[in-house]
Structure 1
Amino acid sequence: MKKSIYPLLWGMFLALFSACNSRTGEEAKEGYTVAAFYWPAYHYEPRSEFLFPEKTGEWEIIRNAVPKEEGHQQPKVPLWGYLDEADPKDMELKITTALEYGVNTFIFDWYWFEKAPFLERCINDGFLKANKGRMNFYLMWANHDATTYWDVKNPRVDSIYWDGEVDREQFDIVVDRVISQYFKDPAYLKIDGEPVFCIYELNTLIQGLGGAEPTKDALDHFRKKTVEAGFPGLHLQGILWDALPSSIEGVPGDPIKSQDDVLSYFGFKSLTNYCWAHLQNPDGDYEVWGDASTDMWNQFRERFSMTYFPNVTISWDANPRFPFKTGYINNSTPEKFKKYLSKAKRYIDDNQIEPRIVTINAWNEWSEGSYLEPDTTWKYGYLEAVRDIFEPIN
């Protein structure tokens, strides 16, 4: 009788371990998935050395930023110093702090230019080596053109360094890469077992692939390859802004005349925003900007048949990237930011959004003035706001 209890206990342990382990890479059902966009530009990238010769990525322009007028709060100074995100030791600090304050998911901006990945060392050498399955993550394919907007000496958006479009051959290479290198990581975020893959500019994808039908065929191929890799399907997520077309040509049958029709045709399952700068002009008072942006959430819920996950943006000031003054947001504080986090939580709860996901811009958009990482002005204030609204889950 005594001997028989050990196999029973061992079986119970394995069942419990399996249940816990199966949640790795899944949203926390009893809590909220707090997902912060991550801009992986703060490490040495050989392909952008001509932009950042100091070999520290965009930290170069953050260090050299200056106020453009009286009262303009520049430069932004990181409390942790100018970390190398491709170093696992530095990334360890980011992951541990994020989890401590309730940010449990990073959405990495992911790039593919001229038949090769760009800025990927942050994920591969930094995050994946430091994470060890503790924190969820997923990719947003930032498939926009790389313009001279990144070049503070020549910030013109009409001049392109690298084209964001890909043809079908390159698309298939991207598919194989993200499935094998990222989807199969246990910490990759899944919804109902399906890996989440976000696409930044749907119109650019369509243009590169040659139209609506070829794009649908390519995305169907993506789903098929994902299923063949052992997943029940693919969760496509779109970024809602003016790069999301409201109509497309060449679709057989009834004409498509809304953004919802477009997304449904291609099989998207959810939407979010990257930042409020895509919704309202980023110039002036934070609360005026925030109220106008978040008041649009109910419109999104009514207009789209797929799930809309609310986005909260911390601020906006892209002046470090320009030699001249551009519009920026002022008067952002942790307490005001907390107000919109609370609004996002109410929106999710009142509308019974499942899974309960909120996206935040951003973990580290220092060059656009929207970041959770502590600086010398507010210290951990913005992270404390997240912790106060979305309690961390052990």
Structure 2
Amino acid sequence: MSFKEKSPLVVALYLPQYYETEYNNKWWEKGYTEWVACKRAKPLYPGHNQPRVPLNNNYYDLSVKENIRWQMNLAKEYGIDGFAIYQYYSCGSKLLDVPVEMIRDDPSLDLPFYLYWANESWRKTWFGQDNTVVWEQKYGTEKDWRIQFDYCLEYFKDKRYIKIDGKPVYAIYNAWAIPEQEKFLSLWDEWAKEAGLPGIYFVKTIGRHDADTKGNFSATVTREPNYTFAHDEKLLEKVKRVTSSRVIDFVNRKFLLPRGKGIVMTKASYDALWDRILKRENQDSSTFLGCFCDWDNSPRKSYNSIIMQGASAQKFNAYFKRLLRKAQNIGSPMIVINAWNEWAEGAYLEPDEKNGYAFLEAIKEAKESRGIEK
């Protein structure tokens, strides 16, 4: 699938952590998937929207192909143009690869997609555990780079794979972490041309370790609301937040948590975050515009979490319309929504028991009201 001028693609981040694996059984517990954290979530204060429950208790298993088909059909129906599927790859070692490989091998699963390399080590930091590395992100030598490229090439050549100017899109989460980054990108681009492609459309995720420039990448993207929350604070806001967080952490650890109580680390304004996303400047046709539908990572972090206040499908619809206009005005190729199914972070478009299909309907209505084809 290729980008058409003035019609930005609407893509949702896609998490494949919804099926049982031997390594999750070993690292966490028998039968662990993302749903385990979701089902254990508890409201931390009056009115807190937890636990989040999928509509009709649809706790799906992504090792079952028909569940992926259901997701894709639902996405197409409501105006999602594709999935950006997280890829976990380290020198030949792969995690959570079953869903994307099923997609690769079955052309009837026909929603467009691209790979988003989540290149970071896995640690036991969830649920108050230690910082032990259970799976290390490695990069290896040029030989390892070539093996990784050849694995990805199977996807790049697929007609469903999202391309810009004929180049397959390949997003990287932690670009700063890649040793000899410039050489890595250059070789992949060279190998792509040797394979009959015009090159690779590399997308750099702007994070706390990166400069806000694309460098040797084709485009940049922000993963929201994380980027805006961490980077768009004014100095006094940051000082207030950091000071407050330290006090809350001390009070929680010393007095409240031992009694089964606590104070939420951060309650953030949905409206304020979106306002900053929409007002951000210095964005152009090499910028993928990042956004989010909601956020609440308390199923993973408990009281040490960030919880959005004031989120609603109606607000999301209004803000998303403005973002679509902005994308068209600057010639952005793509809007990237966090997320299709990050249930344990409260960032999901899939229908739930509280809102039904409201967030999906918000996207469909926004696109149709702007005259943008699905």
Q: TM-score, normalised by structure 1?
A: 0.79
8 Å CA contact 2:24, 2:30 repeated in 1: no
1:237 matches 2:200:
no
Q: Deviations over 1:285-315 (max 9, x none)?
A: 211121123322x1344xxxx6112112111
Alignment partner, residue 330 of structure 1: 309
> Secondary structure, in 3 states, of the residue corresponding to 1:359?
strand
CA drift of 1:54 comes to 4.2
1:175 matches 2:149:
yes
Select the structure of larger CA radius of gyration. 1
Alignment partner, residue 123 of structure 1: 100
CA drift of 1:393 comes to 4.1
Alignment partner, residue 271 of structure 2: 287
1:275 matches 2:224:
yes
CA drift of 1:101 comes to 0.3
Identity of aligned residues (%): 25
Following the alignment from structure 1 to structure 2, what is the Cα–Cα distance between the partners of residues 170 and 324? 41
Alignment partner, residue 8 of structure 1: none
Alignment partner, residue 309 of structure 1: 288
1:194 matches 2:167:
yes
* Inter-CA distance 354–288: structure 2 relative to 1 (3 Å threshold): closer
CA drift of 1:128 comes to 3.6
* Structure 2 unaligned residues grouped into runs of 5+: 231-265
Alignment partner, residue 88 of structure 2: 111
Following the alignment from structure 2 to structure 1, what is the Cα–Cα distance between the partners of residues 133 and 162? 33
8 Å CA contact 1:319, 1:368 repeated in 2: yes
User: 1:141 aligned to 113, 117, 130, which one?
Assistant: 117
Alignment partner, residue 15 of structure 1: none
Equivalent position amino acid for 1:222 in 2? W
Question: After the TM superposition, which of the residue ranges 140-149 and 193-202 deviates more from structure 2?
Answer: 140-149
8 Å CA contact 1:239, 1:272 repeated in 2: yes
When the two chains are superposed, the root-mean-square deviation of aligned CA atoms in Å is 2.1
* Inter-CA distance 51–76: structure 2 relative to 1 (3 Å threshold): farther
* Inter-CA distance 51–68: structure 2 relative to 1 (3 Å threshold): farther
Aligned length: 334
Alignment partner, residue 33 of structure 1: 9
User: 1:387 aligned to 364, 369, 372, which one?
Assistant: 364
Alignment partner, residue 345 of structure 1: 324
* Structure 1 unaligned residues grouped into runs of 5+: 1-24, 247-258
Alignment partner, residue 102 of structure 1: 79
Q: TM-score, normalised by structure 2?
A: 0.83
8 Å CA contact 1:314, 1:361 repeated in 2: yes
Following the alignment from structure 2 to structure 1, what is the Cα–Cα distance between the partners of residues 352 and 107? 23
Following the alignment from structure 2 to structure 1, what is the Cα–Cα distance between the partners of residues 268 and 63? 35
Q: How does 1:229-268 map to 2 (within 5 A)?
A: 229-244=195-210, 246=211, 259-260=212-213, 263-264=214-215, 267-268=216-217
